Chain A
Amino acid sequence: SQQGEEDPQALSIQEGENATMNCSYKTSINNLQWYRQNSGRGLVHLILIRSNEREKHSGRLRVTLDTSKKSSSLLITASRAADTASYFCATVTGGSYIPTFGRGTSLIVHP
């Protein structure tokens, strides 16, 4: 079953613009992770945010977490064509050590 659901399902932007993807989940979490998947490649871990954190940064990535709304957002600033990929959120609940993935957001960045 899907715990996290990404929104939108697809996003198309121009290079240099910012891209924002959202993830909503249903039950309390221990942490939430974002992954990127390029076409034909494996999943790459981008960032992990714990339930007691509200915001984290990594390079051009900014992740926020609102546990009251059970939602997270991933912001990619100054996007590049190389950012074209599918982005997945994965949640880990308190009683489980199993990351549960959503269906992902497909991001296309046009040069």
Chain B
Amino acid sequence: GAGVSQSPRYKVTKRGQDVALRCDPISGHVSLYWYRQALGQGPEFLTYFNYEAQQDKSGLPNDRFSAERPEGSISTLTIQRTEQRDSAMYRCASSLVGRNLLYGYTFGSGTRLTVV
């Protein structure tokens, strides 16, 4: 597609429910990143993929968070047993190559998650 697409744009869920956030990167982009951004803060790294391989998941807060990119394109970030502290904007970004020396990363508009 023309840009990075994230869905849903907004998600309100009850505490304890599982949620799945979707990211559709720019066609042909090798790398895909997930970030979380709290209000008034900068984006915080969660995990990233090159093709279908998860290269680094050191930013995932705990084992309730997982991500996959099975075919090297669309990615899903899943949060199990959501808690109120999980409420944040979840952002996805993609780039053409893993170490992008020439261009920046293209971000999607994000998914605003609210856990009530």
Contacts and interface: CB of A to CB of B under 8 A. Distances in A.
Interface of A: 2, 30-31, 33, 35, 41-48, 50, 88, 92, 96-104
B41 A103 contact: yes
Interface size class of B (residues with CB under 8 A): 20 to 34
A33 B56 CA distance: 21
Interface string B23-61: 000000001010100001111110010000001100000
B22 interface: no
B101 interface: yes
Contacts, number: 61
Contacts of A99: 33, 45, 93, 105
Interface of B: 31, 33, 35, 40-45, 48, 55-56, 91, 93, 98-110
A98 to B, nearest CB: 5
B45 A97 contact: no
13 contacts: A2-B42, A31-B101, A33-B104, A43-B93, A44-B107, A45-B104, A46-B104, A47-B104, A48-B100, A88-B42, A97-B55, A97-B100, A98-B48
